Amino acid sequence: MASVPFPSNLATNEASPEWMNKGDNAWQLTAATLVGLQSVPGLVILYGSIVKKKWAVNSAFMALYAFAAVLVCWVGWGYRMSFGERLVFFWGKPAMALEQSYLLDQAFVGMFPTATMVFFQFVFAAITLILIAGALLGRMNFHAWMLFVPLWVTFSYTIGAFSLWCPEGWLAKAGVIDYSGGYVIHLSSGVAGFTAAYWVGPRMSKDRERFPPNNIILMLAGAGLLWMGWTGFNGGDPYVASVDASLAVLNTHVCAATSLLVWLFLDILFFGKPSVIGAVQGMITGLVCITPAAGVVQGWAAILMGMMSGSIPWYTMMVLHKKIKLLKHVDDTMAVFHTHAVAGSLGGILTGFFAEPKLNRLFYGVDDQKYIGLAYGLNTGRTTAGFRQMGVQIGGIMFIIALNVFTTSMICLLIRLIVPLRMSEEDMQVGDDAVHGEEAYALWGDGEKFETSKHNNSVYEVEDFPSKAAGPTRERERERDCMETETENQVPSVVTTDTRGKHRILAELKRLEQETRSLEEELEELEKTERVSAACKDLLLNVEARPDPLLPVTHGPANPFWDRWFEGPQESQGCRCWVL
């Protein structure tokens, strides 16, 4: 019988070799892009909006920098240390992943090129560092962070990835089930973030006591990108567009939704209000918990895991955190320890209990009897195998914890010999402007900063707030201008043709508003402790009674800010604001 030729779109050629499956390759690149979007812009937006306004730029930029730095390290040496030739039983040999001959060859698993695998594994490495950053927001020296990222991805992440995910890794050979990174990514980032937070030190006291999000709606947008991106996070790890990938995606979202609802219910039950931030935390713990089990457990198990991931991390965060001295001492800004270390460990243990033998066979592609959850081991009479699976899951958790405590501590101790790990008190007081010379919100117009900025405020190369000490010549010019204005117009007027002056006035108003708010907060604290003095009360009354610095005062009390803003006597209706 004559052979039937393939359609032209399926015919093999140099660009489409026989071993490559176009559908698998397309899905793997799509899944990698979804995971990348979790970081950029997902966590960039989430971090930039969940912190105080003064830390928005720094927090977002820590995530963006980590994404870029990890990629360079990954193709330079990180990928082959994680998935390449074995150096020792837990680590691969460093080598570049840039050669054409290497990247266009078939990956170590799957029917797609190595270039696709390099990119797919990169986005997982990048998000791990970004998750660590969540524990360090609001005080880590950015230069120290620039050193931390390449050192940690080299000496910590690659060890965990090789040990658990590389076929030559010792934990992979032992049979530890980590479907998509509950150990390598989430447990690692939770422990490493908590350890790094210990060495870096806490935020300022007032930031620890009160750290409100600057934009909750934008925070929800970042959280939404994170949630939907998990479709690629767990759906891409079978390395094939298979039925197991479909199950993994569905289980992921079922567990996340259940966890969110349980967390929300607990917030309402114990605190009386449904917290949006709490709901986001519940969503994250559900996503983290299902990650090591996504494609190897049934749907009902995913719901049970969601119920536990919405309650156990809630308990550790809301109750145990206030009782355990170490947890209270370490300033973990985004509670990464609870949402990733606790939830990741929980997911690993529940994987050892709920892992279904047939689903393990679909995922691993081999009929290996060692992959069986304890629940199924007890049900089928393979009790020893079930307990063995639980044992190796717990052993993997202990290894990842020990690895990250040790390597992260060594890296932090090395970095602080070069640069301080923590910002100075002065920089932490100011925030973004001190660190980057930039601020997230320029509400007073056109990106200009108000006068408290330590950097040059003027983009027009003129004084933002002209000094009164301008000399006799300037004073005579101002008097002449004021007289000309009165003669020509004979009506109350203020020149407003230059909007830059308006913006500077608004900037000063903003500064005065902040000063007032700060004094009010201090007074509230003093009143709580019943130590308020009459002097403090008088000071607040003076602040509240302060007249508007922009309007002329023709009757009533004198305006103490008149000379700063206007020329001539206060009674004059034709005077001109000299910054306009």
Mean pLDDT of the chain: 84
227 close to 259: Cβ distance less than 8 angstroms: no
Q: In 3D, which of 92, 413, 48 has the Cα closest to residue 215? A: 48
pTM for the complete prediction? 0.77
Q: In 3D, which of 308, 297, 301 has the Cα closest to residue 346? A: 308
Instruction: List, in order, residues 6 or more apart from 517 with CB less than 8 Å away.
Output: none
81 close to 162: Cβ distance less than 8 angstroms: yes
- Angle, vertex CA 213, rays to CA 208 and CA 214, nearest 5: 125
Q: In 3D, which of 249, 226, 230, 89 has the Cα closest to residue 167? A: 89
Kind and range of the H or E run holding 443: none
| Euclidean distance between CA atoms 112 and 96, whole angstroms | 19
Give the HSE-up count for residue 271: Cα atoms under 13 Å, Cβ half-sphere: 13
pLDDT at residue 477 in the model: 52
Residue range 395-416: average pLDDT?
Answer: 97
pLDDT at residue 483 in the model: 52
Tell me the percentage of the chain whose pLDDT exceeds 90: 68
pLDDT at residue 191 in the model: 97
How far apart, in Å, do the first and last CA atoms of the chain sit? 92
- Confidence check: pLDDT of 460 > 50: no
pLDDT at residue 504 in the model: 66
pLDDT-wise least confident of 87-91, 149-153, 552-556: 552-556
Pairing of strands 91-92, 86-88: antiparallel
Q: Which whole-number Å values give the CA distances from 288 to 285, 308, 472, in the listed order?
A: 5, 12, 70
219 close to 8: Cβ distance less than 8 angstroms: no
Kindly report, residue by residue over 420-434, the tens digit of the pLDDT. Answer: 999 999 999 999 999
- Confidence check: pLDDT of 389 > 80: yes
Residue range 475-500: average pLDDT?
Answer: 47
Kindly report, residue by residue over 177-215, the tens digit of the pLDDT. Answer: 999 999 999 999 999 999 999 999 999 988 888 888 999
- Confidence check: pLDDT of 376 > 80: yes
| Euclidean distance between CA atoms 58 and 433, whole angstroms | 9
| Euclidean distance between CA atoms 335 and 313, whole angstroms | 10
Peptide bond before residue 41 is cis, with ω within 30 degrees of 0: yes
* Domains of the chain, CATH where assigned: 22-429 (1.10.3430.10)
- Confidence check: pLDDT of 338 > 80: yes
- Confidence check: pLDDT of 438 > 70: yes
Instruction: Give the Cβ contact number of residue 555 at 10 Å.
Output: 6
What is the b/e burial string over 182-195, where b = at least 16 CB atoms within 10 angstroms of the residue's CB?
Answer: bbbbbbbbbbbbbb
